[in-house]
Chain A
Amino acid sequence: MTAIGPTSDTVLYVNGVTKVFDGFRALNNLSLVLRPGEMRAIIGPNGAGKTTMMDVITGKTRPDTGQVVFDADTDLTKLDEPAIAQLGIGRKFQKPTVFEHHTVWDNLLLSLAGDRAPGFALFARQTKAERERIEGILRTVRLMEHRNRRGGDLSHGQKQWLEIGMLLAQEPKLLLVDEPVAGMTDHETAQTAELLREINRTRSVVVVEHDMDFVRALGVRVTCLHEGSVLSEGTIDHVSADPKVVEVYLGR
C-alpha cells in the first residue's frame, strides 16, 4: 500500500502511527485508509495492536507520532473522546458495556444524537421524534420486546445488540466494533453479521474479529495486523492464503 495524503474520499486516514508503552511497541508505523461506506475487517493475533488502534482513533490514547484524520479534514489526535464521539465515530467495546441500571429504552434514549450538555439534559423532555427513532432502532436490533428490561438483565448476546443499537442511536459516520460475536451462539453470530451488513448500507464500519468464519460471512476487505503494523491486506481469500499470515496467525 502506498502512502497517500488525506483526500476527500477517505472517511478514516491513519498514517504512520506509532505508540510505545514502556518500551512495548503497541503500534509501529501503522497506516490504514478507509473509504466512505466501506466495511473493513481487522484480524491479527493477540497483542497485534487492534485495540490500541481503536483507542488511538477514538481519542483514548494519544499516538506518539503519526496522523489520524477523520472525514478528510479533522485531525483526531488533537481531540478527546467526547469530541470524537460527537464528530460521528461510535465505538463498541470488546466486553459489552451498557448502562446496567437503565432500561433498554433509556439506554437508547441517552445514546440518541443530540445536545450533550448537562443544562439541556436537566430540562429535556422526550419528543415524539425521539420516540420514533428509538422504536426504529429497537426493531433493527431486535430488542423491541425487551425495551422495559434493565440493561443488566439482558443476556450476553442481547447486550451486544443493545450496544450496537446505542451506537446506531448516535448516528455515527464511522463505527468501530471490537469482537462483536465473542461468546455468541452460531445463530446469534449469523444475525450479527446480517445486522452489520445492514448498518454498513449507510455507514462505514471497522470490525475487529478473531472468528474467521464470521469475517468470511461479512465478505469484506480484510487487514491483518501483526506487531503493530499491517502484515497483509486484501480479500479474505488473499489474506488467508498469505504465507506470512498463515505463519503468525492462522497456523498451518
Chain B
Amino acid sequence: MRAVASKAERAVTKRVLARFVAPLLAIAAGGRGRSRSRARAACAVLGLWFVFAQPARAQPTGAELLGSSNFADIQRGVEAVAGSGDPHALPILAAMQEGRLYARGDRSLAAKSSDGSYTDPLTGAAIANPGAVKPVRLNNNVRRALDAALGALRLFSPDPGTRQIAAEAIFKGRDPAALPALNRAIGEEKEPGVNRTMEQARASALLLKNDASDTDKLAAIATLRDRGDIDARAMLATLATGQPPAVTAAVAEAVNAIDLHLRLWSWLQNAYYGLSLGSVLLLAAAGLAITFGVMGVINMAHGELLMIGAYATYLVQNAIRAHAPLLSGASLLIAVPVAFVVAGAVGIAIERLMIRYLYGRPLETLLATFGLSLVLQQGVRSIFGPTNLSVTTPDWMSGAIGLGGLSLTANRLCIILFAIAVFAALQAALRYTSLGLRMRAVTQNRRMASAMGIRTPWIDAMTFGLGSGVAGMAGVALSQIDNVSPNLGQGYIIDSFMVVVFGGVGNLWGTAVGALTLGVLNKFLEPVAGAVLGKIVVLIAIILFIQRRPRGLFPTKGRFVEA
C-alpha cells in the first residue's frame, strides 16, 4: 500500500515536471504565440509548485484564475489547472465544460450538482452555504483550451476506453500543444490499440508543427498512411503545399495509397450490401422458385404470403411477450416454423380451392391469384389496421461488427445466413426427402408419376404448400428490415418474378445466382446512378436480357423444351 502510494506520488511529480519543463524549453527555443502563453502558465505552475507540495487546503495551481472575469485569465487558468497534474484537475475542468462550475467570493470553486446543491470539487464535500456564486465564464477561446486540456488529461485516465477516445479526439483536433502530453502518454501506454491511436494522434499533430524535422514528418506521414481512413486522407491532403519536396512526394504517395485502400474497402462494403440485398431477394423469390419455377403456377399472391409470414412473426412476438417473456430473445427463431406452417397452410388452401381448377391456364391463374392478393391485403388491413406494426429486433440482431474497413450490420448478416440456411434446406428437401422425389417426378412427367401410383393432386397441394411456407419464412426475415403493413408483399412481387425469370425457371440454383447478381448489380449501380435510377436500369437490363435469353440464365435444357 505504501509502496503504491509513493510510486503514484513519483509519477505525479514526474508528470508535473514534464508539464512545465517542456514549455520552458519551448521559450528557450524562441517559440511564439501559443507556446509562449503556455510557458506563462508553466511559470505559474512553477511559482505554485511549493504551495502544491503542502497537503493543506490548496486549489490546483491557476484554479483561482478561473474565477476571474477576464477571458484571457480564465484561459490561462484552464491551462494551469490542466498542467498542474493535480488529480482534481479532471473533475474541475469537466464540471466547467458542462457549465456546472461556479466561483465563490473567496475565489474557491463550487460545482453545482443536478439537484441544485453545491459541492467542493476538491473534496467532494457538500457546501451548505455557498454564499454569492457566479458561474465560471466561457468563450470560444476558453472552450477550445478546455477541450484541449481535457483531451490531454484523459490520455492518462485509468480506463483504456477513455484514453482511446481522448487519443481519437486529439487525432481529430490536431493540436500540436498536445504533443508533449501525447509523448508521455505513449511512453506509458500498455494497450497496443490505444497506443496505435496515440501514435496516429501524434502524427496528425506533428504534421501541423512547422518546426518538425522532415524525418519526423515522413514518419508521421507513414503512420497516417497506415491508418488509411478518410480522416487520415483529409489531413494529408492539407499538407500538399509549402513542404520540402521529399515530404510533398511522400504525401502524394500516401494519399494515393489511402485512396486505393478506401476504394477497396468501399468496393467490399458495396459487395456486402449487394450480398445482403441479394439474400433478401433470394428469400423473397425462393418460394416462388417452387410455385412458379417448378410447378409453373403464376401466384400473384406470393407477396401476400410473405406478408402473412411477417404478421405471424408479429403475433408470435406478442404471444411470447404476454405469456413467456423469458423466451423473447428467441421469438424470431420460434416465429420461423410458425410462419412456415401458417403460410404453408394458406398455400395449400389456395391450391385446393382455386389453383387446381386453373392448371394449364397460366394467365387465368395470374388474374385469379391477383384477385386473391387484393382480398388477402384487405383482410389483413381489416384485422390489423392499415398502419405499420412494430416487430422488435432481438439484441443479438442489432449493432454492427467492424471488420477492417467494413461495417457488417448484424441484422443483415443474420438475413444472409438465414437465406443460406433456407436455400440449403429447400435443396435438401427436394433432393433427399421422398416428398421431394415425388414432387420432381410429378413436375417432370405427371402422367407417368400418376401411373406409378403417386397421388398427383396431393403432391400438387404439398408442393404449393412448400413454396408458400418458404415464403412465410422469408416473411419472418422481411419483418426485420421492412415495415410490417398490409402492403409489405407488393414491394417484392415484381422483384421476385424478375429473379426467378432471370435465373431460369425451374432451376433453384439459377434463382440463387439470379438473386445475388441482381442484388450486387443494384448496389453497385446505386452510388453511380442513385437508388431509384439504379433500380430502373436493372429492370430495363432484365427486360432486355429476357429478350435475348427468354429462358433465363440457366435454362432447363433438352430437346423437348418447346419455345
Direct chain A–B contact by Cβ atoms under 8 Å: yes
Interface of A with B (CB < 8 Å)? 21-22, 24, 26, 52
When C-beta atoms are compared, the residue in chain B nearest to A19 turns out to be B559
Interface of B with A (CB < 8 Å)? 557-559
Q: Which residues of A contact B558 (CB under 8 A)?
A: 21-22
When C-beta atoms are compared, the residue in chain A nearest to B561 turns out to be A21
- Identify 6 new A-B residue pairs, CB closer than 8 A, beyond the known A22-B557, A24-B559, A52-B559: A21-B557, A21-B558, A21-B559, A22-B558, A22-B559, A26-B559
Q: Which residues of A contact B559 (CB under 8 A)?
A: 21-22, 24, 26, 52
Q: Which residues of B contact A26 (CB under 8 A)?
A: 559
A193 and B542 alpha carbons, distance in the complex (Å) = 51
9 A-B pairs with C-beta separation under 8 A? A21-B557, A21-B558, A21-B559, A22-B557, A22-B558, A22-B559, A24-B559, A26-B559, A52-B559
Q: Which residues of A contact B557 (CB under 8 A)?
A: 21-22
Return A81 CB to nearest CB of chain B, in Å. 11
CB-based A-B contact count at 8 angstroms: 9
A24 and B557 alpha carbons, distance in the complex (Å) = 11
Consensus secondary structure, chain B interface: loop
When C-beta atoms are compared, the residue in chain B nearest to A61 turns out to be B559
A21 and B558 alpha carbons, distance in the complex (Å) = 6
Return B265 CB to nearest CB of chain A, in Å. 44
Q: Which residues of B contact A22 (CB under 8 A)?
A: 557-559
When C-beta atoms are compared, the residue in chain B nearest to A26 turns out to be B559
7 smallest A-B Cβ distances: which pairs? A21-B559, A22-B557, A26-B559, A22-B558, A21-B558, A24-B559, A52-B559
Q: Which residues of B contact A21 (CB under 8 A)?
A: 557-559
Return B358 CB to nearest CB of chain A, in Å. 20
A21 and B559 alpha carbons, distance in the complex (Å) = 6
Q: Which residues of B contact A24 (CB under 8 A)?
A: 559
A96 and B146 alpha carbons, distance in the complex (Å) = 95
When C-beta atoms are compared, the residue in chain B nearest to A23 turns out to be B557
Return A222 CB to nearest CB of chain B, in Å. 25
A26 and B559 alpha carbons, distance in the complex (Å) = 9
Q: Which residues of B contact A52 (CB under 8 A)?
A: 559
Return B217 CB to nearest CB of chain A, in Å. 67
A22 and B558 alpha carbons, distance in the complex (Å) = 6
When C-beta atoms are compared, the residue in chain A nearest to B560 turns out to be A21
Return A218 CB to nearest CB of chain B, in Å. 28
Return B561 CB to nearest CB of chain A, in Å. 9
A52 and B559 alpha carbons, distance in the complex (Å) = 9
A24 and B558 alpha carbons, distance in the complex (Å) = 9
A5 and B337 alpha carbons, distance in the complex (Å) = 70
Return B82 CB to nearest CB of chain A, in Å. 80
Return B171 CB to nearest CB of chain A, in Å. 62
A22 and B559 alpha carbons, distance in the complex (Å) = 8
Return A178 CB to nearest CB of chain B, in Å. 15
Return A49 CB to nearest CB of chain B, in Å. 10
A26 and B560 alpha carbons, distance in the complex (Å) = 12
Return B506 CB to nearest CB of chain A, in Å. 15
A22 and B554 alpha carbons, distance in the complex (Å) = 13
A60 and B559 alpha carbons, distance in the complex (Å) = 12
A222 and B289 alpha carbons, distance in the complex (Å) = 48
When C-beta atoms are compared, the residue in chain B nearest to A24 turns out to be B559
Return B550 CB to nearest CB of chain A, in Å. 15
Return B504 CB to nearest CB of chain A, in Å. 14
Return B104 CB to nearest CB of chain A, in Å. 94
When C-beta atoms are compared, the residue in chain A nearest to B557 turns out to be A22
When C-beta atoms are compared, the residue in chain A nearest to B563 turns out to be A60
A8 and B557 alpha carbons, distance in the complex (Å) = 39
A52 and B560 alpha carbons, distance in the complex (Å) = 10
Return B510 CB to nearest CB of chain A, in Å. 16
A21 and B555 alpha carbons, distance in the complex (Å) = 13
Return B345 CB to nearest CB of chain A, in Å. 39
When C-beta atoms are compared, the residue in chain B nearest to A20 turns out to be B559
Return B147 CB to nearest CB of chain A, in Å. 73
When C-beta atoms are compared, the residue in chain A nearest to B559 turns out to be A21
A52 and B558 alpha carbons, distance in the complex (Å) = 12
A24 and B559 alpha carbons, distance in the complex (Å) = 9
A177 and B557 alpha carbons, distance in the complex (Å) = 27
Return B444 CB to nearest CB of chain A, in Å. 15
Return B555 CB to nearest CB of chain A, in Å. 11
Return B92 CB to nearest CB of chain A, in Å. 83
Return A20 CB to nearest CB of chain B, in Å. 10
A22 and B557 alpha carbons, distance in the complex (Å) = 7
A239 and B263 alpha carbons, distance in the complex (Å) = 74
A26 and B557 alpha carbons, distance in the complex (Å) = 14
A65 and B167 alpha carbons, distance in the complex (Å) = 74
A145 and B217 alpha carbons, distance in the complex (Å) = 105
When C-beta atoms are compared, the residue in chain B nearest to A60 turns out to be B563
Return A154 CB to nearest CB of chain B, in Å. 22
A30 and B38 alpha carbons, distance in the complex (Å) = 100
Return B179 CB to nearest CB of chain A, in Å. 73
A125 and B558 alpha carbons, distance in the complex (Å) = 44
Looking at A21, A24, A26, A52, which has the most chain B CB atoms within 10 Å of its CB?
A21
Return A60 CB to nearest CB of chain B, in Å. 9
When C-beta atoms are compared, the residue in chain B nearest to A51 turns out to be B559
A59 and B559 alpha carbons, distance in the complex (Å) = 15
When C-beta atoms are compared, the residue in chain B nearest to A55 turns out to be B559
Return A166 CB to nearest CB of chain B, in Å. 21
When C-beta atoms are compared, the residue in chain B nearest to A47 turns out to be B559
Return A180 CB to nearest CB of chain B, in Å. 21
Return B445 CB to nearest CB of chain A, in Å. 15
Return B360 CB to nearest CB of chain A, in Å. 15
A199 and B324 alpha carbons, distance in the complex (Å) = 84
Return A240 CB to nearest CB of chain B, in Å. 29
Return B554 CB to nearest CB of chain A, in Å. 13
Return A48 CB to nearest CB of chain B, in Å. 13
A21 and B557 alpha carbons, distance in the complex (Å) = 8
Return B507 CB to nearest CB of chain A, in Å. 14
When C-beta atoms are compared, the residue in chain B nearest to A21 turns out to be B559
